Chains A and B, each alone.
Chain A
Amino acid sequence: MAFSRSAVEELSALHGEPDWLRARRLTSFGIYEGLAVPDTKRQEDWRQVDLKGLDLEAYAPFQQPNGRAPLGTLENVGATLRQRGTSPAVVSIAPELTQRGVIFMPLAEAARAHPELVQRYLFTGVKPEQDKFAALHGALFSGGTFLYVPDGVTIDEPLVSQFWSAGSGAAVLPHSLVIGGKGSRFQYVDEFLSGDRQEAALASGSAEVFLEEGANVGYVALQHWSIKTWQFANQRFQLGRDSHLNAVTIALGGQMARLRVEAILQGPGSSADLKGLFFGTGDQAFDFRTLQDHVGPHTTSDLLFKGALRDRAKSVYVGVVRVEPEARGSSSNQANRNLLLSEKAKATSEPILEILNNDILRCSHGATVGPVDPEHLFYLESRGIPHPVAERMLVQGFLGEVLDRITVPQVREAVDQELAARID
């Protein structure tokens, strides 16, 4: 069954969604039908993206519910949501958090229980109009998480969602909607996983995160889809006055994994720290588009995307820093560093600066592409450390700057393990 209006209706019914949400899905589907697959030759935003071999018709619109998420053993977390395909999510949340007004539940359930909240925010950041894939995501999102942390609430332990793809040949399109109330403090983690490393899938894994005045939010996304997944995902952060965002995104999976990360520094004095890490092997291709949009005055952003590529893996990084007319006294930094571990690996990096207010404190950017430093290798090897071990240490050291920002030990461990297995 290809993508169709009836598939949208069926999926919405499966989740027991209210009429307004079904209507929104259908509107998105209309947009999807009206848009062409991006033209990678003519559309600036899609240049360098290789969509050859992508056949949207080949994917089922959603995965039939076929089993719950695997049981996990996450410790020291405030709440977890696990969802496999379109099966109902399994949620656990510390009762103490519920008492303090924290809402953490499947998106469809929130649409019924808290329609005013969900309606106000859902898809206002990641808009279906953006492109065909965002429209598809809006029409057929396969489920997801709704998190609302009330004003002034601090949560020490992270809240974690895990989304599993469930079987070959279908679209798996999770969506997280996160709202941090005034002065709230918490960390939220999205994990995207495939049960089978080889299964074919069309995926997203998008998030909209809203930070109200003075909120301090940590967001971590771990993308570990199968290596036969086409991913088109969006993360959009909307920052209110004096709020602070710490975002870390890790990309390990995907045949072609595209991720757009946008931080909209709207509120005066808001700041965003954006870190990215990727590791590509085989024929994997990554595509990152980032936006540091300084809208309000005295806003600060610091972006660092680091990746290593081996075999024939490729990455494209295009990062826009925009300083809007009102953004006086703002400060931004953007860096993209790529380590090439084989002759055929390839990385390109393109910074784009759009400065519409020259009264800024700082606006710096830098990109590097190159192999492991031979002087570093010599130094380690001269101490008797074998070449492969030295190379692994250097790659881990290179990525460490971002790895150290993963605040959830279990996630860090999972990433370390995967990296160790892939670097050798």
Chain B
Amino acid sequence: MADFEIKDLRVSVEGREILKGVSLSVNKGEVHAVMGPNGSGKSTLSHTLMGHPNYKVISGQVLFKGKNILALQPEERAKLGMFLALQYPVVVPGITMSNFLRTAINAKRGYDGKDKSKAINVKEFRALLRDEMSVLRMDDSFLSRYVNEGFSGGEKKRAEILQMAVLKPEIAILDETDSGLDIDSIKFVSDAVNRMRGPELGVLIITHYTRVLKFIKPDYVHVLVNGEFVRSGGPELADWLEAKGYSEWVKEPAKAPAALEAK
């Protein structure tokens, strides 16, 4: 059995079935790319995996560390080692990045406001961030700003990867982390993700475009169309998609990925 296993997952949103039986096995050390046209259900999958309350599981299981995580709260999933980089990171006024990151790190360490020895100290915190932020080309001023407030699209995505880097998950789902990024930012983000790759991390990278897959090389590629996986393969499937698009599955003349990129 794989480290992280999605079994025949069916999910509805606002009473409409979006995921119609999705299965996928991810092992730590592997990078899986999930590709698909707009509205195919990619974000529905990512949100469901993290436990967003709007997504109702009709049936299926997601097994991780011997548990069906679908029964767990988002915070418990995070504690187990899951992480979701959102396609559209949320602006949270009034909470600074620094407070947000510190609280998240402390939660992971089991600090509940009582045993101070479990809390990350200022020096450690600084050191941890300094490293990761330099890879992502983020300067210190981000820390004193409110979470994502006034961040450009690219800065928001980098901030997501920064969170991933400090929380060190075992299963990371990156939902279109590359979209909206210029080519330099894609490189910085990819560098940061590649630094984390290794036997202890499994990645599910959701994307529209093959571009990012030149930097973060996937081991497997899966095509999601209309709530179902229609094809899976190795990295060569991404090249094939780049040439053909989704026309095989989608009735209307499919836009080539390059055209999508320009939207």
B46 to chain A, nearest CB (A): 10
Mostly helix, strand, loop or mixed at chain B's interface?
Answer: mixed
Interface segment, one of B50-58, B117-125, B127-135, B191-199: B50-58
Q: Which chain B positions have C-beta within 8 A of A374?
A: 53
CB <8 Å contact, A379 and B90: yes
CB <8 Å contact, A389 and B94: no
Q: How far is the CA of A160 from the CA of B166 in the complex (A)?
A: 44
> Which of B86, B90, B113 has the most CB atoms of chain A within a 10 A radius of its CB?
B90
Task: Scan residues 374-389 of chain A and give those whose CB is less than 8 A from a CB of chain B.
Answer: 374-376, 378-387, 389
Say whether B225 faces chain A, with CB atoms less than 8 Å apart. no
B219 to chain A, nearest CB (A): 25
Q: How far is the CA of A392 from the CA of B233 in the complex (A)?
A: 46
CB <8 Å contact, A397 and B52: no
Task: Scan residues 350-386 of chain A and give those whose CB is less than 8 A from a CB of chain B.
Answer: 374-376, 378-386
CB <8 Å contact, A386 and B94: no
**What would 29 A/B residue contacts be, using CB atoms closer than 8 Å?**
A376-B92, A378-B51, A378-B52, A379-B86, A379-B89, A380-B100, A380-B103, A381-B73, A381-B78, A382-B50, A382-B51, A383-B167, A384-B75, A384-B79, A384-B104, A384-B108, A385-B75, A385-B107, A387-B73, A389-B103, A393-B95, A393-B99, A393-B100, A394-B92, A394-B95, A396-B95, A397-B94, A397-B95, A397-B146
Considering the complex, give the chain A residue whose CB is closest to the CB of B50.
A382
Say whether A59 faces chain B, with CB atoms less than 8 Å apart. no
A255 to chain B, nearest CB (A): 29
A394 to chain B, nearest CB (A): 7
Say whether B163 faces chain A, with CB atoms less than 8 Å apart. yes
B160 to chain A, nearest CB (A): 10
Interface size on B, residues (CB 8 A): 31
Say whether A398 faces chain B, with CB atoms less than 8 Å apart. yes
CB <8 Å contact, B74 and A378: yes
Q: Which chain B positions have C-beta within 8 A of A394?
A: 92, 94-95
A-B pair number, CB within 8 angstroms: 79
Q: How far is the CA of A400 from the CA of B93 in the complex (A)?
A: 9
Q: Which chain B positions have C-beta within 8 A of A399?
A: 94
Considering the complex, give the chain B residue whose CB is closest to the CB of A393.
B95
Q: Quick one: which of B74, B75, B90, B108 contacts A376, CB cutoff 8 A?
A: B90
Q: Which chain A positions have C-beta within 8 A of B77?
A: 382
Say whether B221 faces chain A, with CB atoms less than 8 Å apart. no
Top 5 A-B pairs, shortest CB-CB distance: A397-B94, A384-B78, A383-B104, A381-B74, A397-B95
Considering the complex, give the chain B residue whose CB is closest to the CB of A401.
B94
A112 to chain B, nearest CB (A): 48
Q: Which chain A positions have C-beta within 8 A of B147?
A: 379
Q: How far is the CA of A374 from the CA of B78 in the complex (A)?
A: 17
Say whether B223 faces chain A, with CB atoms less than 8 Å apart. no
A417 to chain B, nearest CB (A): 14
Q: How far is the CA of A378 from the CA of B107 in the complex (A)?
A: 15
Say whether B84 faces chain A, with CB atoms less than 8 Å apart. yes
CB <8 Å contact, A393 and B103: yes
Q: Quick one: which of A375, A386, A396 contacts B107, CB cutoff 8 A?
A: A386
Q: Which residues of B contact A (CB under 8 A)?
A: 50-53, 73-75, 77-79, 83-84, 86, 89-90, 92-95, 99-100, 103-104, 107-108, 112-113, 146-147, 163, 167
CB <8 Å contact, B92 and A379: yes
Q: How far is the CA of A379 from the CA of B83 in the complex (A)?
A: 11
Considering the complex, give the chain B residue whose CB is closest to the CB of A395.
B94
Q: Which chain B positions have C-beta within 8 A of A380?
A: 92, 100, 103-104
Q: How far is the CA of A376 from the CA of B74 in the complex (A)?
A: 12
Q: How far is the CA of A380 from the CA of B86 in the complex (A)?
A: 12
Q: How far is the CA of A390 from the CA of B73 in the complex (A)?
A: 13
CB <8 Å contact, A382 and B95: no
> Which of A379, A382, A399 has the most CB atoms of chain B within a 10 A radius of its CB?
A382
CB <8 Å contact, A389 and B73: no
Q: Which chain B positions have C-beta within 8 A of A387?
A: 73, 75
Q: How far is the CA of A385 from the CA of B103 in the complex (A)?
A: 7
Q: Which chain A positions have C-beta within 8 A of B75?
A: 381-382, 384-387, 390
A391 to chain B, nearest CB (A): 12
Considering the complex, give the chain B residue whose CB is closest to the CB of A378.
B52
A31 to chain B, nearest CB (A): 44
Q: Which chain B positions have C-beta within 8 A of A401?
A: 93-94
CB <8 Å contact, A382 and B92: no
Q: How far is the CA of A380 from the CA of B99 in the complex (A)?
A: 11
Extra contacts, 12 of them, besides A383-B167, A398-B93 (Cβ < 8 A), are: A378-B74, A379-B89, A380-B104, A383-B163, A384-B78, A384-B104, A385-B75, A385-B104, A385-B107, A387-B73, A389-B103, A396-B95
